[in-house]
Amino acid sequence: MTARSIGADAAPYGRAVVPSVWSRLWSANGPGYLFLLPWFIGFFGLTVGPIVTSFYLSFTNFDLLTPAEWVGFDNYARMFTADPKFAQSMRVTLLFVVFSVPLKLAFALSIALLLNRGMRGLPIYRAIFYLPSLLGASVAIAVLWRQLFAGDGVVNDFLAIFGIQGPSWISNPRTSLWTLIALAVWQFGSPMIIFLAGLRQIPVDLYEAASLDGASKWRIFWKVTLPLLTPVVFFNAIIQTIEGFKSFTPAFIISGGTGNPVNSTLFYTLYLYQEAFAFFRMGYASALAWVLLAIVAIFTGVSFLTSRYWVHYDD
């Protein structure tokens, strides 16, 4: 046998049929990807696509009817230099977050501490207290809230029993935001449930050791309960702050979509909505959305950075 013939025989082995990457992937995971396809369509079509598009639109003027016009950073520049409503909406939103989040967390923790005392009928109370959280973001509750705090609403009827003439809470720029803060605090159920779960995780031995040491309930709360609950406080604070920045429905319903009186309930998201769907300034609205994302990201990042100084993890 010649060398040539050996080479000719060897050739078929050298060019053995190797399955393509795609066919290997398909044979191994194909059915799995097929089942994931609806999620991929939703993720790329309804999440990633709009995110990328809105980022692009934030650098354009776009009114839905004419083609988008590239304007560079003009939208962002306008926001910080020539738009008093942006500043007002930011102020209202920050006030809302600064007051509603701590109040809601304090309220939620107080109720959780009460419920954690092993009272009878606990599941019923828990469900009752959680109910507002399920209903709170709905249009119906916002409408109800509007009725409660109107000039001739139930709140003023109640105050009238004591001879107090209450204002029209939602029509008064000095009190309108506080009605929305009250509504947010009323929705304390979700953080309360999480606090309750956190309280259940604290070993009873620690309380017993503290009581043997003669610690009062107040001291036990500040020195044992609260420090051990800080991971839960941190989680709730982050979630509720993000929720606060995103808050939209109550302000929209109570102010009739205007943010009035005197822009006192002009939440950031409401202003964004107005720019997008009332004035059809989609480019500017997109820029507003990205600034909100940046603010929330900065807040969350700072919170995580500072957490090492006040959040106590067991391990």
Partner 1 sequence: MNATSIGLKQVVKRYGDVEVIHGIDLDIEPGEFTVFVGPSGCGKSTLLRMIAGLEPISGGSLLIDEQRMNDVPASKRGIAMVFQSYALYPHMSVYQNLAFGLETARFPKAEIEQRVQRAAGILRIEPLLKRKPRQLSGGQRQRVAIGRAIVREPRIFLFDEPLSNLDAELRVQMRVEIAKLHHDLGNTMIYVTHDQVEAMTMADKIVVLNSGVIEQVGAPLDLYNNPHNRFVAGFLGSPKMNFVEGTVASLDGAAPTVNVGGTMVALRRPLPGFGIGDKVTFGARPEHMGLTEDAGTRFADVRVDLVEQLGDTSMLYASTAGGQPLTIALEGQRQIAVGSTVTTYIDPARYHVFGADGTAIR
- Residues forming the site for partner 1 (CB under 8 A): 203, 205-206, 208-215, 219, 223-224, 227-228, 312, 314-315
Smaller CB separation from partner 1, 97 or 228: 228
- For residue 38, whether the previous peptide bond is cis, meaning omega lies within 30 degrees of 0, is no
Least distance in angstroms from the C-beta of 207 to partner 1:
9
Smaller CB separation from partner 1, 199 or 251: 199
Smaller CB separation from partner 1, 229 or 292: 229
Least distance in angstroms from the C-beta of 307 to partner 1:
13
Asked if residues 183 and 273 have their Cβ atoms less than 8 Å apart, the reply is no
Give CA torsion, residues 123, 124, 130, 134, to 10 deg.
110
Query: Tokens representing 113?
Result: 């501490």
Least distance in angstroms from the C-beta of 164 to partner 1:
45
Smaller CB separation from partner 1, 9 or 208: 208
Least distance in angstroms from the C-beta of 63 to partner 1:
56
In the 8-state DSSP scheme, what is residue 48?
A: I
The SS3 assignment for 61 reads strand
Alpha helices (runs of H) in the chain, residue ranges in sequence order: 3-14, 21-42, 49-57, 74-81, 84-115, 122-135, 139-148, 154-161, 176-186, 189-200, 204-212, 217-220, 226-246, 249-254, 268-273, 282-310
Smaller CB separation from partner 1, 124 or 212: 212
